Amino acid sequence: MLISDLLAQNARLYPDDVALVELRPSKGFRKTITWREFDERANRVSNALIDHGIKKGDKVIHLMMNSIDWLVAYFGIIRTGAWTVPLNFRFTSSEIKYCVDIAEARLIVFGEEFRERVEIIRNELPTIGKYIFVGQDAPAWAEPFENVVASGSTRTLSVKIAPDDMCGLYFTSGTTGAPKPIVLTQANMEFACTVEQKHHYQARDDNFILIPPLYHTGAKMHWFGSLLTGGRAVILTEISPKTILETVDKERGTIVWLLVPWAQDILVALDRGELKLSDYDLSCWRLMHIGAQPVPPSLVRRWKQYFPQMQYDTNYGLSESTGPGCIHLGIENEHKVGAIGKAGYGWQVRIVDDRGNDVPQGVNGEIIVRGTGVMREYYKNPEKTAETIKDGWLYTGDIARMDEDGFIWLTDRKKDIIITGGENIFPVELEEVLCRHPKVCDAAVIGIPDERLGEIAAAVIEPKPGVTLAEQEILDFCAQHLSHFKRPRRIFFGKIPRNPTGKIEKPKLREKYHTKL
């Protein structure tokens, strides 16, 4: 069943049940929408877009902050048979133009936060015929979203859409260069719903607290488990340890997907006494899961000290695999914390060498995956597509090893491996060790040029708030836990930049700290 049909089904089965709650705690804002209202509002957007000339196969830029209307617009677009093109809210005007040009998009739906960025490039976007503005005081050159909704019919469109039809153009987060456009199909989306529900046992009485950005495949595909079962979700638009715990308490949240920095922030606030668990009723919170990046086992162990009865899980995935779940730890495998898991529901996984041959157990190789979630292609880039998908297998570029029990342990990105004096150093391994230091909040390891060894490992350390941390303390700690050749040769102190999905932006670190050599 197509995901837009799932929305219609929920509207029939649970018309008056709340589907989504949107919260902005600092403003006392709380908005709800039922499944019937959600479905009807999406139909209104679809019919209005058709009236504006949008047809099957067209591309529509979708540039909004998280909200109920983000999802309304999303379903409204795909019901026309057009492709939705969700963009990273951090993209600059030039990056937005880059995406519009590649997509040859015909229409932009954008939030008030992006008014200035869009206006700067408006005269440089010849393919765009219509601008739809979500927010207050629409500019003269854009139509207000509420006018679009009001003008559209609630009738169901008769556009014929098949599972193999393309429906999404997703630009990667760009941590390793210019964002790459990934084509996803209706079947990819449907499969993501099933994978999420199978992994986390989502039921109709679950309440998913949705925090990460919806433009990314991660958050939306995790919510797809709620879509499949008709469960409620809460869109929390303000992120802090306090708002997360308050939201779980007041909204009776059962599942929360956190990024590593958010989980760290909660632990730091609890450690410092800024938050007290006794102030909240969190008995409803059954599952905390993390993805999008390697998770330090030390973080999970600390988490379980505060929440010993809570289930924990981690998922591995990438935009090219329609988001999370191609590799999955499983809530029953907490004894393997640190591993990313085994093949997810409906997925196959191998670890191979540079020739595509399986490597022996315990040997590092590249993760490749196969399943219905593998993207159709890199848009307009057949060479990169052929390089990445071979005989149905998606080559992820991530390096890992498999242990004696079949669990996969992520080692690093293939392109992030540091080769120092002929020895391979895997930054993720060093980062996990550094994060165990009681004074370290976050850590990143990069390679920097070295005349004698080619390159050496440099650690960027972000201390916990309010503590004093000296370079020698880090060096002494590494001497206790790392082989000599693996130890970082340079130590820098500073903020660790992460993108909206929590991944360390290592190109920024390289650019910044190479200049300090």
Whether residues 438 and 334 fall in one domain: no
Supply the pLDDT for residue 115. 97
For the cut 90, the answer to whether the pLDDT of residue 450 exceeds it is no
Whether residues 435 and 346 fall in one domain: no
* Model pLDDT for residues 339-398, shown as the tens digit of each residue: 999 999 999 999 999 999 999 999 999 999 999 999 999 999 999 999 999 999 999 988
For residues 30-68, one letter each, b for 16 or more C-beta atoms within 10 angstroms of the residue's C-beta and e for the rest, the string is: eeebbbbbbbbbbbbbbbbbbebebeeebbbbbbbbbbb
* Model pLDDT for residues 454-507, shown as the tens digit of each residue: 678 999 999 998 899 999 999 999 988 887 878 899 999 999 988 766 778 887
What is this structure's pTM? 0.84
Got the DSSP string for 194-235? HHHHHHHT--TT-EEEE-S-TTSHHHHHHHHHHHHHT-EEEE
Supply the pLDDT for residue 294. 67
Whether residues 97 and 146 fall in one domain: yes
| Residue 434, domain extent | 421-514
| Cα 428 from Cα 368, distance rounded (Å) | 19
| Cα 47 from Cα 348, distance rounded (Å) | 40
* Model pLDDT for residues 10-45, shown as the tens digit of each residue: 999 999 999 999 999 999 999 999 999 999 999 999
For the cut 70, the answer to whether the pLDDT of residue 421 exceeds it is no
Question: Among 172-181, 188-197, 227-236, which stretch is predicted with the lowest mean pLDDT?
Answer: 172-181
Reported residue count of the chain is 517
Residue 474 structure tokens: 């880090």
Whether residues 380 and 250 fall in one domain: yes
For the cut 60, the answer to whether the pLDDT of residue 174 exceeds it is no
| H-run or E-run covering 10 | helix 3-13
CATH code: domain of residue 426: 3.30.300.30
Contact criterion met (CB below 8 Å) for 425 and 485? yes
Whether residues 402 and 431 fall in one domain: no
Supply the pLDDT for residue 448. 85
| Cα 438 from Cα 298, distance rounded (Å) | 10
Assigned domain for 178 exists: yes
Whether residues 46 and 134 fall in one domain: yes
412 forms beta bridges with 399
Whether residues 444 and 356 fall in one domain: no
**Chain centroid to CA 491: how far?**
29
3 state SS of 191:
helix
Assigned domain for 37 exists: yes
Assigned domain for 15 exists: yes
387 forms beta bridges with none
Higher pLDDT: 89 or 251? It is 251
Whether residues 243 and 383 fall in one domain: yes
Contacts for 84 with CB less than 8 Å, ≥ 6 apart: 60, 62, 74, 77, 78, 167, 168, 169
Contacts for 87 with CB less than 8 Å, ≥ 6 apart: 61, 62, 63, 96, 99, 171, 215
60 forms beta bridges with 84, 107
Residue 265 structure tokens: 């922030």
Supply the pLDDT for residue 176. 46
Question: Among 149-158, 256-265, 270-279, which stretch is predicted with the lowest mean pLDDT?
Answer: 256-265
| Cα 22 from Cα 37, distance rounded (Å) | 14
Q: CA angle, corner 352, sides to 346 and 357, nearest 5?
A: 110
Whether residues 337 and 303 fall in one domain: yes
In total, how many domains does the chain have? 3
Residue 463 structure tokens: 């201390």
Whether residues 146 and 279 fall in one domain: no
Contact criterion met (CB below 8 Å) for 293 and 315? no
3 state SS of 251:
helix
Assigned domain for 448 exists: yes
Assigned domain for 506 exists: yes
| Cα 4 from Cα 234, distance rounded (Å) | 20
Assigned domain for 195 exists: no
Assigned domain for 201 exists: no
131 forms beta bridges with 108
CATH code: domain of residue 348: 3.40.50.12780
Q: Indicate the average pLDDT of the chain.
A: 92
Among 188, 218, 247, the domain boundary falls at 188
Supply the pLDDT for residue 414. 67
Supply the pLDDT for residue 175. 44
Whether residues 149 and 289 fall in one domain: no
For the cut 70, the answer to whether the pLDDT of residue 422 exceeds it is no
Supply the pLDDT for residue 451. 65
Band of the pLDDT at 293, cuts 50, 70, 90?
Answer: low
Report the number of secondary-structure helices (H) and strands (E) in the chain: 15, 27
Residue 197 identity (one-letter amino acid): Q
Among 413, 430, 460, the domain boundary falls at 413
Among 170, 188, 206, the domain boundary falls at 188
Assigned domain for 462 exists: yes
Supply the pLDDT for residue 188. 97
Whether residues 72 and 183 fall in one domain: yes
